[in-house]
A = this chain, B = another copy of it.
């Protein structure tokens, strides 16, 4: 009678046990479009769910990301988890912090029309992947594990 996501089935389908904590977090971040930080999830839920630790929120969001249920990106130094796992872009308000989704399929180089009402201050586009050097090392089986942290 509704198109609501069946959270228990979704979690089981990804091999998760159905614990109250996990169900609560999933209900908040997977049942509807959401851009959340771990802290925000914890603050939102802790009152009604005292049996939930910030620790578990971090772990759970990380698990959901690994399972492809959430996407993760960085904004202003915080990890933001996004229930929209389809390719898309974002706009973030520097005043209130709201984040909105933007389509990727415009031909324009400029900001998409959804931003007509916004007063854009900065725009940033970043690609993450393997550079030619590391692809070579990868092929040679010598890929290091230093990761991006070495910047």
Contacts and interface: CB of A to CB of B under 8 A. Distances in A.
A129 interface: yes
A125 B128 contact: no
A96 B131 contact: yes
Interface string A91-104: 11111111110101
Interface stretch (A6-14, A18-26, A57-65, A76-84): A76-84
Interface residues of A, number: 61
Contacts of A1: none
Contacts of A80: 151
Contact of A89 (B105, B117, B124, B143): B124
A55 interface: no
Contact of A122 (B107, B122, B128): B128
A3 interface: no
A87 B107 CA distance: 20
Given A134-B95, A135-B119, A76 B127 contact: no
Q: Which 3 A-B pairs have the closest CB atoms?
A: A95-B134, A93-B131, A120-B129
12 contacts: A78-B151, A90-B124, A94-B128, A95-B138, A97-B147, A98-B131, A99-B151, A115-B129, A117-B135, A119-B130, A123-B128, A125-B125
